[in-house]
Structure 1
């Protein structure tokens, strides 16, 4: 195995064996020396793989006793739909609270940030046009479960009470309600989900490892005239959350 990802391959193999029921919940696992020999890796690699599964919630270490199989943590289910986006109370906070966890959100906004070329293309503006950039970190029971990197053209919000999303009279109201308050009606949203691997920055913020599987969603909101009014890159770690799309069927 390549040295840089050997522990991930061992972790994948052990995870598959646990999910297949080779060891029951509560069972003690063989030693790291045994796994090192079985997978032809060093003991440090085997140890790192087991630590990885402890982080994911498949295993638990007991001081002076060994490593045991635990019941896997239930992933947070995040439902994405037009209906829930516009329905009162169906915010991230409501979704998390409904699953018995405590939701929190941290944010930081910067004004007059020049739009990079790819963001400008998504917003149908010129590269370098000023935007408000807001970074969000969403947590459930204190654990990061979602990141969002949101861009809004200042040509739309400059001088209004909602220029900065997380301050003012519409603080925390969400894009649809904030835009509506200044006469901009959002009519549609386009989301493009893509599997990806965590960058160093994303790993640091989410408390996962570099290269871990994440889902990156490119979301763009459009007004009734088809003008893009906000675009965001949303990142969700696979080990902590699952994305569910809900569609209305007429």
Structure 2
């Protein structure tokens, strides 16, 4: 036990370990507060706080009149964040739910370095695992590149990689930048992902560049308990020459 650590935290750790290790499968009923108090020589207040902590972590759930039970944990899907050379890592099929032509808002204009009001294509997709939405993906690109062609988002296959699609109209993407954060879900995102507003989500802001020009930008929002990001990037630059050693 760490010096100064509350007793309920110590008890929660003792209960957490077999749950995380799989020794206590989903549906297992935990000992009551009174039983835990006797077994671990603590007060019922301590055991109550320990169980509440595990419930807040999503490991157990309280059932009225029955006690606490180990929660079933959703399967975690690996979402690939790769470069073009290394290929996908366990790709998650995305369902396109809409392509629209819009006037760029202040945010989109800033990210794409456009004038506010310029035309952009917005594409919205949802990724599902076992039928459950686990990520929402929204992208924007200047309409000027593919307007009137068969390579606009509304004409091309929705799942087509923007690198390949834009290359067909002579826009060569040679750089990708991403910002990753964890933040509370906003109401529209929470509705799509079927989670409570304010629940933490993974947020990835990704922008494709052709030279110094931003040609596509997107937001990916994923449930933290259902997704993990996998980065696998190739190093294509030259290896620096080693310094000579002196015998």
TM-score above 0.5 = yes
In structure 1, runs of 5+ residues without a counterpart are 1-11, 97-102
Q: How many residues align?
A: 216
Give the stretch that moved more between structures: 116-125 or 18-27: 18-27
In structure 2, runs of 5+ residues without a counterpart are 1-8, 37-43, 237-247
Query: What is the root-mean-square deviation in Å for CA atoms of aligned residues?
Result: 3.7
Q: Mapping of 1:13-162 within 5 angstroms?
A: 18-21=15-18, 24-26=23-25, 27-30=28-31, 38=46, 50=55, 53=58, 58-59=59-60, 67-69=68-70, 72-83=73-84, 87=87, 90=88, 95-96=91-92, 103-111=93-101, 113-162=102-151
Question: Offset of 1:119 from its aligned partner?
Answer: 1.4
Aligned partner (choices 218, 223, 228) of residue 232 of structure 1: 218
- TM normalised by structure 2 equals 0.71
Question: Offset of 1:20 from its aligned partner?
Answer: 2.6
CA contact (8 A) 2:11 2:47 kept: no
Select the structure that is richer in helix. Answer: 1
Bigger Rg, structure 1 or 2: 2
- Establish whether residue 172 from structure 1 lines up as the match of residue 159 from structure 2: yes
Question: Offset of 1:143 from its aligned partner?
Answer: 1.1
- TM normalised by structure 1 equals 0.70
Question: Offset of 1:214 from its aligned partner?
Answer: 1.1
